[in-house]
Chains A and B, each alone.
Chain A
Amino acid sequence: NAGVTQTPKFQVLKTGQSMTLQCAQDMNHEYMSWYRQDPGMGLRLIHYSVGAGITDQGEVPNGYNVSRSTTEDFPLRLLSAAPSQTSVYFCASSYSGLAEPYNEQFFGPGTRLTVL
């Protein structure tokens, strides 16, 4: 199993450009999430999904869109990139079952995004 994969690993954008960060998992997990990591701020939840066709906002959703058309994929779209979106982005997935540990999220390796 590849686990959670993210592409690209690195990306530089200009202000106003749009792009999609890709995330895929092959563990048949129902739950998927996007986080951003910034110095001193920890991991902040952007959007999450509890199944195909179901998404919801996290702590910092503004400027980002998501959709979940399949169980495997959960892309994150930046509509009009801003310097404040310079960050490291992590995608994660987790099992929806009733056995502990609940919500044990498996993370991808991250995408480092710079917006100039």
Chain B
Amino acid sequence: DQQVKQNSPSLSVQEGRISILNCDYTNSMFDYFLWYKKYPAEGPTFLISISSIKDKNEDGRFTVFLNKSAKHLSLHIVPSQPGDSAVYFCAASAIAGKLIFGQGTTLQVKP
């Protein structure tokens, strides 16, 4: 049973516009959420995170929103740049040291 789901396998946006990547989870024990970015032939790299006691966290062009009642989080990238083209994974944690990842969403930003 997939506890973290990213239902959109791919997303294409125009450079300069907003990219919104979505993630749903089923386990109400998750208390910390992270987004990772992955380029081909490389390991994932950390992008931004949010604690379950918050509903928003910003870091430059990246903002993560958390809706606990809906068990939903989203990553907003504004403005999107061609270098943002990558696979984005959301991940959730309930136990120290244990992260559960979603399936990933491939973002393509067109110049």
Binding site for B on A (CB under 8 A): 4, 30-31, 33, 35, 40-45, 48-50, 56, 58-59, 90, 92, 94, 96, 100-110
Contact = CB atoms under 8 A, between A and B. Distances in A.
B102 A50 contact: no
Interface residues of B, number: 24
B11 to A, nearest CB: 15
Given A30-B97, A33-B99, A102-B32, A107 B43 contact: yes
A45 B101 contact: yes
B109 interface: no
B97 A107 contact: no
B22 interface: no
A108 B43 contact: yes
Interface residues of chain B: helix, strand, loop or mixed (majority): strand
B25 interface: no
A103 B92 CA distance: 9
Q: Which 3 A-B pairs have the closest CB atoms?
A: A107-B43, A31-B97, A42-B103
B32 A42 contact: no
B97 A33 contact: yes
A92 B98 CA distance: 11
Given A102-B49, A109-B43, A42 B6 contact: yes
B34 to A, nearest CB: 7
Interface residues of chain A: helix, strand, loop or mixed (majority): strand
Contacts of B42: 109-110
Given A40-B9, A44-B101, A101 B96 contact: no
Given A42-B103, A90-B44, A101 B34 contact: yes
Interface in B84-99: 89, 91, 93, 96-99
Contacts of A100: 49, 51
Contact of A40 (B32, B34, B103): B103
Contacts of A106: 46
B100 interface: yes
A22 B44 CA distance: 18
A43 B93 contact: no
